[in-house]
Structure 1
Amino acid sequence: MSNKKMLGLMFLFIIMEGCTSRPAESMEKNFFSVEDPGEVRSEALKRLLEVFGIEDPPHSLHHVKQPPQYMVDLYNTVADADGVTKDPDLLEGNTVRSFFDKIHSDQMHFLFNLSTVTKNEKILTAELHLFKMKPRPSEQAYFKRHHFCQISVYQVLDKNKMQSAQGKKLLSSRLVPIHSSGWEVFSITQAVRAWNDESSNQGLLVTVRNLGGTQVDSNIIRFASGRDHHESKQPMLVLFTDDGRRGIVSLNGLPDMQAMLLPNEPHVPAPNRTRITRSSGEDGHVPCQRHPLYVDFEEIGWSGWIISPRGYNAYHCKGSCPFPLGQNMRPTNHATVQSIINALKLSKGVNSPCCVPDKLFSINLLYFDDDENVVLKQYDDMVAGSCGCH
């Protein structure tokens, strides 16, 4: 594996860099004495996947499928071009998953495979998205007599009895103009929460009736299906969850990645990216400040399944925290006291304060999972927003 890719794999272990000392030789040997570069890459990727809460990387799809426009629009609403969260309160929970109907039947019975939802995810909201087709001109006689229809969504309790009252449970119902076309969204949270195992998931049933209560022919009121229409209009279940993950994975026990790189490590920096060299532990008179650290998912080998962003600037903090600490160093009271003790040599073994991130931002990833579902996930503490002496 190239040095360039190794640097890319190590980025998450460097963004929290400060004035940490070089780890013990035994720790370095435990992680880096592997002679096979493939094993080093495998270990680095494993640690990187842990940060993103993914057990195994999805297969590279190379974006053969187009993601649902709803998911793309949602991503653009909550994140900027680099994936950084615009407003942490815009997204309910930290994960949004989209699922396509797996039955593709002519009837209004829809089944969604939710096996990729992990057991620890708290289900917040679930929605059924149906695209109502534009009425055919041949049905104009019907439209002159009826202007609204009632669309109802049921949880199927028994697929063999779903036409009877005992075989289904009403979830959502509303009146919709017959002449309208476009997306209709129904809340189905109650059903998804009840699907605590795959056997209890028998799908959803949609019925359409006129105001007199008579069932409307499916040829008159039509919804786009996965079998007969473009994938951009397929029936879709959108699930908002929270997996309870907050903050970054602990780096305790990991070696100082920056210190492990050789002094003359060859690397040609790309535009707006920081060249990473061996840290000597001394930053001279350069004050504590934020520096660019671009993360390129293509270099890491993840571009085949990540839709957006293609990369982002994680930034890292570097520089000295000399006595006396000015307010521009954004010091804590503890750092100020530590700086004084260090300057006056009042206690042995007390170093000067560290230059570390004092504000961290979250990023969002839009990606395909192994079942070709599209997932929008928010990760906390991934971008150094500012640096200070702590």
Structure 2
Amino acid sequence: MLQPGVTSTSRAHHLRITGATKMLTVALLLISAVSTGSPRPAPNYLENHFSTENDSKEVRSVAIKRLLEVFGMEDPPATPARSHKQPPQYMLDLYNTIADVDGVTKDPTLLEGNTVRSFFDKLHSEQIEYLFNLSSVARSEKVLTAELHLFKLKPTATVPFNRHHFCKVSVFQIVDSKTNVSQGKKLVSSRLIPVHTSGWEVFTITQAVRTSMLEERSDLSLLVSVQTLVGSATDPKPVRFASGQNHHHSKQPMLVLFTDDSRRTTSPESVLRRSDDSSAGLSLPFTSFTLPITERRHARSLDYDEIPEKVPCQRMPLYVDFEEIGWSGWIVSPRGYNAYHCRGSCPFPLGQNMRPTNHATVQSIIYALKLSKAVEMPCCVPDKLFSINLLYFDDEENVVLKQYDDMVAGSCGCH
């Protein structure tokens, strides 16, 4: 209410002057803070001005952290020398065998366990002795199979093997380097290999790696010996294996571990049971990434320009771009993948094209008849989930192939 003797016009004029005075006061305070170097005043309205930008950075930080947790990591691997590193051809071939171009698993039975790790020899000796650092393998990982991959070179001299086309190659684990060689080693693998051929030779040494893991050894030291069929030791030159020192990186000695990290496999049914509790947390990382232009147009044409209630339940694109979130430096393949998401309504009556469960059908009937105010319309959610595979460099610059369950919505339905 206006005070007696004060007109509405004068009152408005007074308010304008007061507002201008306050704005000028704030401006002077800011200029004073900058010029004197004293702390800037932080009234609520100044904090609110920057809250949107700070919130977006915080959301992105939380989203990236949550996505790392999905991939079983606390921090992204530090790979400063990534630019000159080349992944082993074996790991590339294995990835292409079990995954399509988007990283989606072709057949879940192809891979033993859910992790494949490759290690290069750290010793780089001209002798047939090798050292592998296993410190990056978690103690909780179960070693299923361990293989020593050696590239056999073409023989330079064949005189000692004129009568023999095969030789015996034995792999020993050096368990005590302080004692003599005969007492400080243990046989872990042995087999015959052809003398006159070249190419990769694979030796299974699973028990040796398991023992090292149980004894919490970070290094695995191996020694290879070559013998004739009659059992006598021979000059190793006719049977030579490539070393990391004098040969191309594609022929380096390599240890390959097939392991399982005991992560719980989530079934589609359990995803549906937990949808109310976990949907917000799981969807957060993916919402901040963009779709490729073609998919964005496709998505808009299908649902974003439509009223959600009029769009039937269907699968929509949701592309996760690893380059956009700064992970392209350590991920070899894929560069990104389409996680897809489910969008749309489940109106009564539910047709079979919406892949409804019996429970969803009953729920839609109760909702349509308004028999209970607490009952909502069935939800459009994934009813089939696929795994994806990542091929990446870890902190030690070893190449790892890892399979992650329930990462791609294969189809959507009303539940």
| TM-score of the two chains, using structure 1 as the length reference | 0.83
Structure 1 contact 342–350 (Cα < 8 Å) conserved:
yes
Match of 1:112 in 2: 132
Match of 1:333 in 2: 358
Structure 1 contact 362–381 (Cα < 8 Å) conserved:
yes
Runs of 5+ consecutive residues of structure 1 not aligned to the other structure: 1-31
Q: Secondary structure at the match of 1:271?
A: helix
Match of 1:94 in 2: 114
Structure 2 contact 286–320 (Cα < 8 Å) conserved:
no
Amino acid at match of 1:382: M
Q: Distance in 2 between matches of 1:311 and 1:200?
A: 33
Q: Cα–Cα, structure 1 residues 49 and 100, in superposed 2: closer, same or farther, change >3 Å? A: same
Q: Distance in 1 between matches of 2:180 and 2:196?
A: 28
Structure 1 contact 128–187 (Cα < 8 Å) conserved:
yes
Match of 1:177 in 2: 194
Q: Secondary structure at the match of 2:323?
A: helix
**CA RMSD between the two structures:** 3.0
Q: Distance in 2 between matches of 1:261 and 1:124?
A: 33
Per-residue Cα deviation, 1:150-184 (whole angstroms, up to 9, x for no partner): 001112111233521x3222111111111111100
Q: Distance in 1 between matches of 2:371 and 2:395?
A: 58
Structure 2 contact 242–251 (Cα < 8 Å) conserved:
yes
Aligned length: 354
Structure 1 contact 132–181 (Cα < 8 Å) conserved:
yes
Q: Distance in 2 between matches of 1:223 and 1:69?
A: 17
Structure 2 counterpart of 1:58, from 77, 80, 85? 77
Per-residue Cα deviation, 1:18-76 (whole angstroms, up to 9, x for no partner): xxxxxxxxxxxxxx978265443322211110000012101245542110000000001
Q: Secondary structure at the match of 2:293?
A: coil
The answer on 1:271 being equivalent to 2:290 is no
Structure 2 contact 169–193 (Cα < 8 Å) conserved:
yes
Runs of 5+ consecutive residues of structure 2 not aligned to the other structure: 1-50
Structure 2 contact 114–402 (Cα < 8 Å) conserved:
yes
Higher relative contact order (CA 8 A, sep 6+): 1
Q: Secondary structure at the match of 2:103?
A: coil
- Please state how far the C-alpha of 1:271 moved relative to its aligned partner: 1.9
Moved more, 87-96 or 59-68: 59-68
Match of 2:234 in 1: 216
Match of 1:20 in 2: none
Amino acid at match of 2:61: S
| TM-score of the two chains, using structure 2 as the length reference | 0.78
Match of 1:12 in 2: none
Match of 2:27 in 1: none
Structure 2 counterpart of 1:367, from 392, 397, 408? 392
Q: Distance in 2 between matches of 1:285 and 1:101?
A: 60
Amino acid at match of 1:235: P
Q: Distance in 2 between matches of 1:259 and 1:215?
A: 63
Q: Cα–Cα, structure 1 residues 271 and 247, in superposed 2: closer, same or farther, change >3 Å? A: farther
Q: Distance in 2 between matches of 1:342 and 1:113?
A: 61
Larger helix percent: 2
Structure 1 contact 115–198 (Cα < 8 Å) conserved:
no
Moved more, 82-91 or 237-246: 237-246
Structure 1 counterpart of 2:323, from 284, 298, 305? 298
Structure 2 contact 158–238 (Cα < 8 Å) conserved:
no
Structure with max Cα Rg: 2
> Percent of pairs identical after alignment?
68
Q: Distance in 2 between matches of 1:97 and 1:268?
A: 31
Q: Cα–Cα, structure 1 residues 269 and 224, in superposed 2: closer, same or farther, change >3 Å? A: closer
